[in-house]
Structure 1
Amino acid sequence: MGRLFVVNLEGKIYSCKYCRTHLALCEDIVSKSFHCRHGKAYLFSKVVNVTVGEKEERMMTTGLHVVADIFCVACGSIVGWKYETAHEISQKYKEGKSVLERFKISGPDGNNYWASHEAHVGGSDADEA
């Protein structure tokens, strides 16, 4: 596998809940109004220490998108997805941005988020796959 290099962030960070690898900064949050099958999720302009999986078309609540799952580089857990292409003009702002699922990350205060009963309640986007 080779040597693993990870980026250590400074400030208020979100990290992988399984291995505590840094993933994103609070200041890089674009939106907190996303939803997935485990509950809430956050859209980030920049994430680090992830690998990007295969691109695939997925039907989301906001339309058809080309997305790729993103994985923690340290432990391999799926932590969210990256928007590669949005077919709707109104959704183009998502391209190149990543979503981290709250259920799979630790917040800046060190708290883990848990799946909630409103996991399937509508929101800005939902992982239908």
Structure 2
Amino acid sequence: MAGVAGINPFYSCRKCRTPVALRDDLLSKKFVAKYGGAYMFTRAMNIVLGQKQDRQLITGKYDVSEVFCSNCNEYLGWKYIRSYDTREKYKEGRFVIEKAKILKEY
């Protein structure tokens, strides 16, 4: 599969191979999510956001929206909308995508 907009590598939905994030937007590989390891990205593409909800996570309370693939509707992770802890504000607007739900493409 060719790169997205000439930029390689990128990450795609494991179920349908739709591109969901660029390697250039990867911030961290050290997150933990429902199904194990997860990556944090500054941006995501070809996604649909679920309703905003309060969620208690390991590092505190947040408003988040679940993230789904826009092509196959597979659950991918979540987007941080708001942090209740000022030390965690850097996460706002960021996307956490489950490692088990994506593939690295070149």
SS in 2 for 1:90: helix
Is this contact kept in 2: 1:67–1:82, CA < 8 A?
Answer: yes
Aligned residues: 102
Structure 1: how far apart are the matches of 2:36 and 2:74?
A: 17
Q: Deviation at 1:31?
A: 1.1
Structure 1: how far apart are the matches of 2:30 and 2:84?
A: 20
Structure-2 residue corresponding to 1:59: 56
Larger radius of gyration between Structure 1 and Structure 2: 1
Q: Could you give the per-residue CA deviations for residues 69-99 of structure 1, whole angstroms, max 9, x where no partner exists?
A: 0110000011110000001011000000101
Percent identity (aligned): 38
Structure 2: how far apart are the matches of 1:108 and 1:41?
A: 17
Structure 1: how far apart are the matches of 2:90 and 2:37?
A: 19
Cα RMSD for the two superposed structures? 1.1
Which of the residues 22, 26, 31 maps onto 2:28? 31
Q: Deviation at 1:37?
A: 2.3
Q: Deviation at 1:30?
A: 1.1
Structure-2 residue corresponding to 1:83: 80
Aligned AA for 2:96?
V
SS in 2 for 1:19: coil
Structure 2: how far apart are the matches of 1:32 and 1:105?
A: 13
Greater than 4 Å deviation, 4+ residue runs: none
The structure whose residues are more often strand, as a share, is: 2
Structure 2: how far apart are the matches of 1:37 and 1:23?
A: 19
SS in 2 for 1:56: strand
Q: Deviation at 1:108?
A: 3.0
Please list every run of 5 or more consecutive structure 2 residues that lacks an aligned counterpart in the other structure: none
Structure-2 residue corresponding to 1:14: 11
SS in 1 for 2:80: strand
Please list every run of 5 or more consecutive structure 1 residues that lacks an aligned counterpart in the other structure: 1-7, 110-129
**TM-score normalized with structure 1 length:** 0.76
Structure-2 residue corresponding to 1:99: 96
